[in-house]
Amino acid sequence: MLARKGDAVVAFAFTKQEYGHPDVAEFDYLFRDDGGRVLDPSHTSVRSGHGTTRESCVAVGDLEIEWSYRSPTTGWVYFEHLPHEMPAADALELCVTHLGLMNVPVDTGSARFKWRMKP
């Protein structure tokens, strides 16, 4: 999964998801917030790590992506805007991809990624 907003971009992959009150997921991520679009863990501007959702939210840096449990191997991520709403120019953008975090570096500015601000 890829997400970007403003100068920040993150790639994250869920490693564990559990149903509960609240639902909880663990994820690995690559993140940068300097305006660069290439996620390469060898670059000093790219941070990598492991996180846990808090209050049904994947949070890395200033990026927050709402999430909910679907099954032990799948979940839902949510756009900031509904289909009938007009997003602001700097709205959160999401891109679902088959790439895992092992396929790095990733140029998130590549034309092969189809970014969306709403469903």
Total Cβ atoms within 10 A of residue 95: 17
Kindly state the percentage of the chain with pLDDT values over 90. Answer: 75
- All residues at 6 or more sequence positions from 34 whose CB lies less than 8 Å from its CB, including other chains: 7, 45
Among 82, 77, 81, 69, CA closest to 95:
77
Confidence at 21, pLDDT banded by 50, 70, 90: confident
Question: If you search the block for the tokens 């909910």, which residue do you land on?
Answer: 68
The pLDDT mean for the chain works out to 92
Total Cβ atoms within 10 A of residue 30: 24
Is the per-residue pLDDT at 60 higher than 90? yes
Among 7, 13, 92, 91, CA closest to 45:
7
The domain limits of the chain are: 2-107
Is the per-residue pLDDT at 7 higher than 80? yes
